[in-house]
Structure 1
Amino acid sequence: MSELTPTELSREQQTEFEAAAFRRLVQHLRERTDVQNIDLMNLAGFCRNCLSNWYRDAANGAGIDLSKDASREIVYGMPYEDWKNLHQAEASDAQKAAFDVNKPVHG
């Protein structure tokens, strides 16, 4: 197997690999229910909700009307309210303070 550089990938290959990486990231986040969204936001500047918003933005940009609830279910693997009830803990004062200082600004 010969090694390709990023510029040698076809557009189809790039899309295929990006989709595979996205699916793996989503699966990882589904398995790591111990990692709270606020921790992701404080450390990485994005969380599961951000990822679902970006997914919805891509769908809407392609002319597909995808709701916020539907895009969240794609990322969480279940309705968001169910995930929150099963896995989301109340944020600590320290987590909230860190979020206020580091609150990411992205669209």
Structure 2
Amino acid sequence: MADVTPTLSDDARTRVEAAAFRRLLSHLNDARPDVQNIDLMILAGFCRNCLADWYRDAANAEGMALDKDAAREAVYGMPFAEWKAQHQKEATPEQLAAFEAAQKKHAG
């Protein structure tokens, strides 16, 4: 398949990627807070916590000290404990089984 992506400068690409990331966070946090992290993990292999880890890793790679809680707050738009209290439900036995199966399927 031919590459149809327009050639972007590094700066433009960074702006576009940042805008897409902000839109993803807005979608997850504002439009779909009902989507549980375990369901994201089952279907996509990552969740909001993974995004926070990647965010923290990127900040640290740029020489910016960012801890786990600050990274989660940046991703969740609020302290994680607050988001969890408002939106996270106890995982069902079915979700736990599906998560276990997904982990086995994608583990090497």
> Structure 1-normalised TM-score?
0.89
Give how far 1:7 is off: 5.5
Alignment of 1:29-44 (within 5 A): 29-31=28-30, 32-44=32-44
> Which 5+ residue runs of structure 2 have no aligned equivalent?
none
Identity %: 59
Q: Deviations over 1:35-74 (max 9, x none)?
A: 0000000011110000000000000111111010000000
RMSD: 1.3
Q: Distance in 1 between matches of 2:19 and 2:36?
A: 24
State the one-letter code of the partner of 2:48: R
Q: Does 1:22 align with 2:14?
A: no
Partner of 2:55: 55
Q: Distance in 1 between matches of 2:7 and 2:75?
A: 31
Q: Distance in 2 between matches of 1:16 and 1:98?
A: 36
> Which 5+ residue runs of structure 1 have no aligned equivalent?
none
State the one-letter code of the partner of 1:87: H
Give the number of equivalent residue pairs: 101
